[in-house]
Amino acid sequence: MALHQHPSPNCGPRRNALTPRFVVLHYTAMDTAQAAIERLCDPVHEVSAHYVICKTGAITQLVGEGARAWHAGAGEWQGLDDMNSRSIGIELDNDGQGPFAEALMHSLETLLTPMLRAWDIPPANVIGHSDMAPGRKFDPGPWFDWDRLARQGLAAATIRATQTRTPDWDQFRKQAQALGYTASAEDTDLLTSVRLRHRPHAQGPLCAADMSLGDLP
C-alpha cells in the first residue's frame, strides 16, 4: 500500500497515554483532495487528520497514527470524550452529495484492514463524525456505504427493522445511548445522527422503523 507523505504541523501527543481505540470517518466537503490536504496542513486553521483518501484512491498520510490529530472536535461516543486522543481520523474526498468513488472505497478498505489489526480496534469502533457529534457534524453523510464495510468486517452491521414498535422518544434515546450515542443532543439531532448511519435517506418524524435499534441482541 503506497502512502504519500505530507506532514501536518497540526498535531501533538495523545493525552493521558491514550492509544487509538476508534476510527472516525469524515468527508472533505471541498473541491479537491489537494485543497483539503492544504487546509489540514495550514496552522492557521488548526485542523488535521491522519489520512486523506482521494477519489483516485491515492492515500496521503498527514499525521502518524500514534499522534493526536485534530479532526474530531467536541463530541462523545460510548460515554468517552476527547475523541482526538482516542481515534484515528480519515478524511474521504467527497462533497456529501453523492456516492463515494470505487477507488476511494477500495483504498479505505486496504487502509483499515491492517490498521484495525495493529491497534486491536473492533469493527464496531469504526464510526462516522456524525455519530459522535450529533447536530454539529453530518459526515461522512447519507451516501457512505457502511454496508460494504460491514460485509468485510470493517464496521458494525447496519441495523434493519425486523418488527414494528410504537415510536417513543424516551425509548429511542435509551436505545441510541446503548448503541454508543451518548453525546448531548436534541431529539431531532439525535434522530438525524442515527439515521445517517442506519437509515440514511429516511425523513420525517420518529417512526416505527427508527425503533429498530431495539432489535439489538
Q: Which residues are part of the catalytic machinery?
A: 91
Q: Which three cell numbers stand for residue 9?
A: 504541523
Strands 11-12 and 59-61: unpaired
**How many of the other CB atoms lie within 10 Å of CB of 167?**
13
**Distance of alpha carbon 213 from alpha carbon 210, whole angstroms:** 7
183: CB partners within 8 A, 6+ apart: 75, 76, 77, 132, 133, 134
Question: Which has the closest alpha carbon to 145: 164, 167, 118, 126?
Answer: 126
User: To which residue does cell 422503523 refer?
Assistant: 209
Question: Which has the closest alpha carbon to 86: 117, 125, 118, 123?
Answer: 125
Q: Which three cell numbers stand for residue 97?
A: 452529495
Compute CA 27 distance to the chain's CA centroid, rounded to the nearest angstrom: 9
